[in-house]
Amino acid sequence: MTQLKDAVKVSTIFFVCLTVVLLSITGGVGYYYTLDRQLMARNIKDAIDKGIDPMSVRCSYASQSDTVCVAYSYTKQGKISVIPDQAVSIKK
């Protein structure tokens, strides 16, 4: 009977520890993304105050597959870059 109680106690401790670790990871990731968005908002506000295009600041935080930033980059540079360092110029 004591072996059964010990096994239940060990499994309970394991699941409590696992839950604490998973909640910590979830909280850390959430905190990171919240802080990242706050920093981006502050930098966009500073860019507006300095007269810098806020879209360029937003795109500096975006991933490579962000279609808004790809279109923005295309209109600003007049180039299509499918492969890095091999841009094709388009005549307007």
DSSP per-residue letters across 44-75: HHHHHHHT--HHHHHHHSS-TT-HHHHHHHHH
Q: How many other C-beta atoms lie within 10 A of the C-beta of residue 56?
A: 14
pLDDT in the model for residue 92: 47
The separation between the first and the last C-alpha atoms of the chain, rounded to the nearest angstrom, is: 84
Give the amino acid at 36: D
pLDDT computed for residue 79 by the predictor: 57
Cα 64 to chain center, whole Å? 12
For the chain of 92 residues, list the mean pLDDT of each consecutive stretch of 10: 85 96 97 91 90 85 81 72 50 48
pTM score of the predicted model:
0.56
Alpha carbon separation from 19 to 8, 9, 14, 39, 54 (Å, rounded):
16, 15, 9, 30, 41
* Structure confidence at residue 67 (pLDDT): 84
